[in-house]
Amino acid sequence: MRRFHLVYGWILFVVFLLTGQYMDKYLNHLMHLPNDVRMLYRSRHIYILMASLLNLGIGVYFIYAGQRWRRRLQLAGSTLIAVAPVLLIVAFFKEPSLGPDKTVFSFFGIIAIAVGLLFHFIGGVRTRASGGRGPGS
């Protein structure tokens, strides 16, 4: 799981850089777009960076929990955190054309990140407190 989050985080960071280039080159620095559309592009761009950094952070500090239910909770959290960037990337390309009142993809992407992080916190809190490493790390 640790390696997955590290590799995925770096891939997402490259996607973040590419979406920045997309806004720069293809959309001409967002200069001729209305303010609300420009805000949607920029915020979705930053959400992709947030997902990248979250995956990198989890990859650096991930320790498997000792108890089975905690490991399952960590796995569920990792799954949500892995799915969320896909929603955020779709949001980057789809939502600006839909308008600020139709931000379904980014809404569910942010919720998935929040719940996934909460699952990781609950699943890993005992492991951190005891200072030990669980099996498989």
**Chain segment 23-36, per-residue pLDDT in tens:** 999 998 888 989 99
Listed in sequence order, the residues at least 6 apart from 84 whose beta carbon sits closer than 8 Å to its beta carbon are 51, 109, 110, 112, 113, 116
How many angstroms separate the CA atoms of 22 and 28, rounded? Answer: 9
Mean pLDDT across 91-116: 94
Computed over every residue of the chain, the mean pLDDT equals 91
**Chain segment 35-44, per-residue pLDDT in tens:** 999 999 999 9
Per-domain boundaries in the chain: 2-130
pTM of the model: 0.87
**Chain segment 113-134, per-residue pLDDT in tens:** 999 999 999 998 765 455 555 5
**Chain segment 7-27, per-residue pLDDT in tens:** 999 999 999 999 999 999 999
